Chains A and B, each alone.
Chain A
């Protein structure tokens, strides 16, 4: 709900989150949702390049990835996150992740779009072991 403070009772300690989302309004929305849910946005970026750079500069607890970043697929970021052992969830309007190179996100939860707060928080909790 707009303006209401949303406290996610399941998260005692807020997570540091990397947002990779090309649609700026959705990125803003994600930031607000996460912050109101008691999490911290480590970085919010719109491209593969910027995401890889952000991962050089810092280590988030978890990442939220859009799949298609202005025609560029997010897979290189997913691969880097895997190699760094950083869990992530996908937030994409695409239902079908069965695309070439998509193996790296095959077993990852897609919370879908439009974003539902509860579903996002649940997915983050499942993705992060014993947060």
Chain B
């Protein structure tokens, strides 16, 4: 039985099949009970860029570069006729002659000729390459997103746990934590921004809560410096810690106090390094803290670990000066 006969057979079953089979975009093969190809539809020749000569009378497993010669698929097909089993969307990935690497879904079904009882196998093949690729890409993207969300939760958890409770009321704890949380959010926003992921923007964004009105905080007209998202997070958190410290103990605790933030490229070629300076003036006399709180640890840790540089804090009579040097 060949495809013509199949058409007749299907017509006999009161199905207007010929048009259907002809317009089926998926490749179809009719195999004899010993897996020899009896016939193939135009879509098969088109998809595999092959012809009748190299297809008909060839064993299914010998087609192309023997891509279909998979022991598991063979076993499945061997059950199709005797057990009337069917194969549904068996995935075959491989490099096919002329058409390259493809993902094919193979389905197989037994058909029985109503007159002579001859049994054949109808094989349909779906090219799922693009669909699979899209699915794979989507999975990777979802996995990446899932990872980022959990990472962000871990960071938030760290901020919540590291923000100390000793000597703080619940409200103070909440405000301190939310301040850090907001600085993190603002830094991440700058880090992921397509057109404003640099230094003036980061400084303005993190210091925004302190910039309104007759501000005591001044951001110098520094050069535009691009930052990676990780650098933005680290620098943003550093500036936030310095700001809260200045409000509590430093220059901003007095109306006449001033803070200036500036930065400039450094290094041999004035490009390989960056220096960020935080300079307080007009505040109370400062001295190094007796205990190292999370804020100071965070400044050092982020400068060293995240930026690969260092932070220096100088407690000068006119106020604190913090210098962060790191490679760009």
Contact = CB atoms under 8 A, between A and B. Distances in A.
B163 interface: yes
Contacts, number: 70
User: Counting chain A CB atoms within 10 Å of each CB, which of B150, B161, B234 scores highest?
Assistant: B161
Given A24-B302, A24-B306, A93-B146, A114 B153 contact: yes
B302 to A, nearest CB: 6
Contacts of B173: 2
Contacts of B158: 25-26, 28-29
Nearest to B163: A2
A33 B164 CA distance: 13
B87 interface: no
A40 interface: no
Interface string A39-58: 00000001000000000000
B162 interface: yes
A94 B146 CA distance: 8
Contacts of B151: 23, 26, 93, 113
Contacts of B143: 94, 96
A65 B237 CA distance: 25
Given A2-B164, A29-B161, A114 B150 contact: yes
Nearest to B308: A46
B160 interface: yes
Nearest to B306: A24
A98 B306 CA distance: 29
B159 interface: yes
A9 interface: no
Interface in B8-61: none
A1 B298 CA distance: 19
A89 to B, nearest CB: 15
Nearest to A95: B146
A32 B154 contact: no
A29 B298 CA distance: 11
B210 interface: no
A3 B154 contact: no
Contacts of A4: 165
B90 interface: no
A123 interface: no
Nearest to B161: A2
B129 interface: no
A73 interface: no
B171 interface: no
A27 B305 contact: yes
A108 interface: no
B221 interface: no
Contacts of B306: 24
B157 A29 contact: yes
A1 B165 contact: yes
B298 A28 contact: yes
A49 B143 CA distance: 26
B147 interface: yes
Given A24-B301, A24-B306, A115 B157 contact: yes
7 contacts: A24-B234, A26-B158, A27-B301, A28-B298, A29-B154, A46-B305, A114-B156
Interface of A: 1-4, 23-29, 32-33, 46, 68, 93-94, 96, 112-115
Closest 4 CB pairs of A and B: A93-B150, A29-B158, A3-B165, A24-B305
